[in-house]
């Protein structure tokens, strides 16, 4: 299905020869001389690379339909992750390479949204924050109460983040999935 460049909106997905792209921003330009055009900034869904592209006004571009499915992460199997569709209980395997850094925030049983295009998973949408268990960190020194002081902590998923000095091994911590930063104790 094609769409006119005059109808572009932020967040739309386009199936271009360069790959599956989402529109980050666009601008209609009508110069004094010559024809109108649309200047766009597109982000490759798979690689995250940002591309600037210019189209003639009312040029047709292929629209991609992305189906967002609610899934539950079940377990890791070699180089793939197994998810279950919460609507029909169908299980699918996804290569670790396709989910990039999301693996650092996933624990078994977590609910996620998998955007799919032509039955291919094109990423993972995580909740804004997840709860992870601290598996490794240095003990806090008694009396060391420097305001805002941090220490590195390793979580059960392999993520390493800076946490306050009072955090101990075995504690559940809330972590921001967008920045990888400590938010609070769970």
Whole-number pLDDT of residue 37: 92
Statement: 67-121 belongs to CATH 2.40.50.140? yes
Whole-number pLDDT of residue 141: 63
Q: What is the pTM of this model?
A: 0.70
DSSP one-letter string for the chain: -EEEGGG--TT-EEEETTEEEEEEEEEEE--SSS--EEEEEEEETTT--EEEEEEETT-EEEBPP-EEEEEEEEEEETTEEEEEETTT--EEEEEHHHHGGGGGG--TT-EEEEEEETTEE---B--SEEEEEEEEEPPPPTT---TT-EEEEEETTS-EEEEETT--TT-EEEEETTT--EEEE-
Q: Is the pLDDT of residue 107 over 90?
A: no
The architecture (CATH level 2) of 2-62 comes to Roll (2.30)
Q: Looking at the domain covering 129-185, what would its CATH class be?
A: mainly beta
| Domain residue ranges in the chain | 2-62, 67-121, 129-185
Whole-number pLDDT of residue 143: 59
pLDDT (average), residues 159-172: 88
Q: pLDDT for 36-88, tens place per residue?
A: 999 999 988 877 789 999 998 888 999 988 888 899 999 888 888 899 998 89
Question: Does this chain's domain 2-62 share its CATH topology with 67-121?
Answer: no
Model confidence at 27, pLDDT cuts 50, 70, 90, reads very high
């Amino acid at each position: 299905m094609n769409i006119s460049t005059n109808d572009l909106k932020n967040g739309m997905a386009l199936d271009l020869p360069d790959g599956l792209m989402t529109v980050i921003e666009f601008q209609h330009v009508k110069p004094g001389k010559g024809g109108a055009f649309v200047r766009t900034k597109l982000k490759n869904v798979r690689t995250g690379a940002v591309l600037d592209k210019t189209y003639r006004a009312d040029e047709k571009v292929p629209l991609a339909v992305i189906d967002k499915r609610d899934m539950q992460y079940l377990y890791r199997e070699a180089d793939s992750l197994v998810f279950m569709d919460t609507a029909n209980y169908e299980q699918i395997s996804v290569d670790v390479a396709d989910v990039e850094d999301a693996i650092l925030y996933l624990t078994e049983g977590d609910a996620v949204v998998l955007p799919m295009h032509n039955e291919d998973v094109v990423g993972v949408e995580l909740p804004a924050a997840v709860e992870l268990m601290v598996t490794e960190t240095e003990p806090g020194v008694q009396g060391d109460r420097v305001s805002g002081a941090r220490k590195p902590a390793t979580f059960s998923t392999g993520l390493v983040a800076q946490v306050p000095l009072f955090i101990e091994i075995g504690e559940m911590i809330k972590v921001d999935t967008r920045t990888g930063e400590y938010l609070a104790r769970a």
